[in-house]
Amino acid sequence: MAKGAEGGNGKAPVPVQYDLSGKVRVIVKGSKTQAVGDCAFFMLRTSWCKFLFCLLGVYFALSLFFASFYFYVAELGGIKCLVKEHCDVWDALNLSVHSMSTIGFGSIVPHSFLANLTVAIQFWVALMTGAVAGGLFFSRLSMASSRVAFSDTALVTNIRGTPTVTLRVVNERPFSPLLDVTCRVSALVIDPVAGMRVLAPCQLERSTNMMFRAVWNVMHCLDEKSPLHGLDETNFEEKFLAFVVQIEGTDQTYMKKVFANKCYYPADFRFNESFEDIMTMGPSTITVDRTGLSSTRVLERSKRLSFLRANTFSPEEAQKLAANAEQDGLTPEAEGKPEAGEELDQGFEGFEITMATC
């Protein structure tokens, strides 16, 4: 197995701001905090458990705050209980919950001007809080998101006689395909002249997909135009810092733009391996095995990258090796033959795509 399959020499990857997987945390010092705006973004981006916990926390905090004020007013005789003579702390809490929820059972009623004013203020606070909570809840439900899964590794193999970086992408919502999809790939490299990090764009063999429903193999040729030209097993850890992939498309259900991002580090690259086939074609179904998204197999020696590397041998040596390969029946066309179902990532009318999870 290539050195990249075992994480290289064990060096920790350099954190980059383009990694949105949660592994890299960006901290901006000296920035002014906007309480309302930042809180709203947190409520929209956080998990559902934290979102619901925050809503319940605000509800109980406001109820306890007004309950303490009601208890103080009750000691002054400003609140009357119809079922008993004196109101205790539990009665004050019940009145607060009734007012906060706009229930009003009637067993505890405000009697003084101060108590009625507190009820009016709490009703207005409850109304505004409910409106904000309902708006945030609806915004979260209506927010379009993608379920695009990337392979854990990126493979560098010999395809059609050219070293090529290949990664695999699966749409985990086949019932809602992505339309007019665009894939952009860039390599984060260090410019020796400028002495700074540069995000260099990488040209893909196919950067657009009119309908992404099942599987898509994203391929970037390491030719002379590539910022990673000359990448091999010996220099891949010094050649680049990160390989950033972004997919943008329109979700068919929401009809909104959705995005998916993946950042590959040098330790995620493997050489002389190919992806296992994860598509099974039936009479009217296409089954995709999600569990095998990152499964690979080691290529035969005759199909490995170093066998016909144009940038490894001189033109005369490469021509001689190619002639020997043709005599043995190992032509670049045979080496670059795609796996079964590789290009069948388009949806067909009348076909059903299912995702196998086990």
Instruction: Please state the three-class secondary structure of 255-284 as a single string.
Output: CCEEEEEEEECHHHEEECEEECCCEEECCC
The count of structural domains within the chain is 2
**133 confidence band (pLDDT: 50, 70, 90):** very high
Whether residue 87 is contained in a domain is answered as: yes
Q: What is the pLDDT of residue 142?
A: 86
Instruction: Kindly state whether residues 112 and 42 are assigned to the same domain.
Output: yes
> What is the overall mean pLDDT for the chain?
79
Q: Is the pLDDT reported for residue 17 higher than 50?
A: yes
Q: What is the pLDDT of residue 320?
A: 66
Closest by Cα among 41, 45, 38, 44 to 20? 45
Two structure tokens written together for 256: 């909104």
Instruction: Kindly state whether residues 72 and 215 are assigned to the same domain.
Output: no
Reported residue count of the chain is 358
Range of the domain at 84: 35-142
**341 confidence band (pLDDT: 50, 70, 90):** very low
Whether residue 138 is contained in a domain is answered as: yes
Question: What is the distance between the alpha carbons of residues 331 and 119, in angstroms, rounded to a whole number?
Answer: 84
**18 confidence band (pLDDT: 50, 70, 90):** confident
> How is 297-325 classified by DSSP, letter by letter?
EEPPGGGSGGGS-TTTS-HHHHHHHHHHH
Q: Is the pLDDT reported for residue 204 higher than 70?
A: yes
Q: What is the pLDDT of residue 157?
A: 87
Q: Which parts of 183-251 fold into alpha helices (H)?
A: 236-239
Instruction: List the Cα angle 342/149/198 in 5-degree steps.
Output: 95
Whether residue 1 is contained in a domain is answered as: no
Final residue of a structural domain among 142, 170, 196: 142
Instruction: Kindly state whether residues 240 and 151 are assigned to the same domain.
Output: yes
Q: What is the pLDDT of residue 162?
A: 85
Closest by Cα among 111, 220, 215, 218 to 165? 220
Q: What is the pLDDT of residue 334?
A: 46
Q: Is the pLDDT reported for residue 339 higher than 50?
A: no
Least confident of 23-32, 256-265, 313-322: 313-322
**351 confidence band (pLDDT: 50, 70, 90):** very low
Whether residue 4 is contained in a domain is answered as: no
**221 confidence band (pLDDT: 50, 70, 90):** very high
Instruction: Kindly state whether residues 138 and 196 are assigned to the same domain.
Output: no
Distances (CA, A) of 320 to 266, 301, 307, 352: 32, 17, 12, 48
Final residue of a structural domain among 87, 114, 142: 142
Residue pLDDT, tens place only, 306-335: 444 434 445 565 566 567 666 655 544 444
Task: Decide which of 37 and 200 is more confident.
Answer: 200
Question: What is the distance between the alpha carbons of residues 161 and 326, in angstroms, rounded to a whole number?
Answer: 12
* Mean predicted confidence (pLDDT) in 267-287: 88
Q: Is the pLDDT reported for residue 36 higher than 60?
A: yes
Per-residue b or e along 280-301, where b marks 16 or more CB atoms closer than 10 Å to that residue's CB: eeeeeebebbeebbbbbeebee
Q: What is the pLDDT of residue 57?
A: 93
| Global pTM value | 0.67
Cβ contacts of 249 within 8 Å, gap of 6 or more? 146, 178, 179, 180, 181, 182, 209, 212, 257, 258
Closest by Cα among 291, 294, 212, 220 to 259? 212
Cβ contacts of 268 within 8 Å, gap of 6 or more? 4, 152, 153, 154, 243
Instruction: Kindly state whether residues 190 and 334 are assigned to the same domain.
Output: yes
Instruction: Kindly state whether residues 78 and 213 are assigned to the same domain.
Output: no
